[in-house]
Amino acid sequence: MLSRRAKLLYWMSRYLERSNFTSRLLITTNELQLDLTLNDEISWKPLLTVVDLNKDYLKLNKKYSEQKVIDYFIYNKNNSSSIFNSLSRSKENSLVVRDILPEQSIIKLNELLIKFNKSINKKNSKKNNLKLLNSIILGSQNFMYSTDLEMQRNIDYQFLRLGRFLERTDMMIRILQSQVLRSKQHKKGYEYLTLEWINILKSISAFQAYRQYSQQDISISDIINFFLKTDTFPRSINWNLNQIERATYRISKKNDLLKNIKEIKVGINKYKIKTDELDSFLFFLEKMLKKLDDLNDKIQKNYFS
């Protein structure tokens, strides 16, 4: 398989997954702000911080504003992580590898892009933006569903999976980071904090799965362990690491990347959460992100260079 083609599939999948989870982050943050009546800075600064865009945003805006932050994440062409750029790059990559992808996958991706491009010319009201974000989540899921349903389980498919699940793991960690930072800022009581974490569960359609998983009363530590360690829910970090490991194994069985993936999994499963030590938890999450970055660098070196 040509390394260029593998790279395009890998990054196309990552960009689509990024647009999906960025949309979820924006919707969840908006709902948390409404439920807890938080001000704009407490609500939105953590989100900008965990994707390392706080300074860049403040260069363009003097203060934190719900509407401006959402517009910045959706439409800003200079924001490398904006949904606009993620979808544009995904489309560019798909044009080169369209002969590999199922016809329905191309149709679903085109439908998503057409709907997004139409929204650029509309008034960016809060209602329109939230409607758009939900359509992005649905459109990216439709693309993924069609590839899962119709693609052969060959190396092309494994690179799509590798990109998807690495990005999903990265974004799940950032979701946890943003919530911890927000909790530290507003310092509300335990009931409010629990409500926040329940909203995070709902943002990734995980609340029902969590209630089936949990054998005890709802608690923050239990929710965090569900996010980190369960190997039965398709958006938990441990489950996604398992998918990364499987895709890597099927691409190349004799692969030093497998050792790195197992080290990350061991670190996740050994970690014991203490909700009264948020700084320690943030440090742990930052270490996990660094290990994922190192894994991505090794993927680039092993497969694409």
Of 96, 64, 68, 84, which is closest to residue 15 (Cα–Cα)?
Answer: 84
Higher pLDDT, 226 or 183: 226
What are residue 130's phi and psi, to 5 degrees? Answer: -65, -40
Neighbours of 261 (CB within 10 A): 22
The answer to which of 62-76, 97-111, 201-215 has the lowest mean pLDDT is: 201-215
Output the six-digit token pair for 190: 């335990």
- Cα distances from 96 to residues 19, 44, 111, 156, 203, in angstroms, run 20, 37, 18, 13, 33
Cβ neighbourhood burial of 232 (10 Å; 0-12, 13-18, 19+):
exposed
Residue with tokens 């329940």: 198
In whole angstroms, give the CA distance from residue 284 to residue 263.
Answer: 14
The answer to whether the predicted template modeling score (pTM) of the entire model surpasses 0.75 is yes
Q: What is the DSSP letter of 96?
A: H
Give the relative orientation of helices 83-96 and 103-120 as an angle to the nearest 10 degrees. 150
Average pLDDT, stretch 216-228? 88
Contacts of 254 (CB under 8 A, 6+ apart): none
Higher pLDDT, 127 or 122: 127
CA atoms within 13 A on the CB side of 252: 11
Provide the domain limits for residue 263: 3-304
Q: What is the DSSP letter of 205?
A: T
Cβ neighbourhood burial of 21 (10 Å; 0-12, 13-18, 19+):
buried
> In total, how many domains does the chain have?
1
Average pLDDT, stretch 210-214? 88
What are residue 256's phi and psi, to 5 degrees? Answer: -70, -10
The answer to which of 36-40, 88-92, 173-177 has the lowest mean pLDDT is: 36-40
Output the six-digit token pair for 6: 């593998």
Please give the pLDDT value at position 163.
97
Contact 21, 175 (CB under 8 A): yes
The answer to which of 44-53, 125-134, 161-170, 185-194 has the lowest mean pLDDT is: 185-194
Question: Which conformational region is residue 37 in: left (phi greater than 0), alpha (psi within -120 to 50 degrees), or beta?
Answer: left
Q: What is the DSSP letter of 216?
A: S
Report the first-to-last Cα separation within the chain, whole angstroms: 13
pLDDT, tens only, 81-122: 999 999 999 999 999 999 999 999 999 999 999 999 988 877
Contact 45, 198 (CB under 8 A): no
Q: In which band, very low, low, confident or very high, does the pLDDT at 127 lie, cut at 50, 70 and 90? A: confident
Please give the pLDDT value at position 65.
92
Contact 226, 200 (CB under 8 A): no
Beta strands in the chain (DSSP E): none
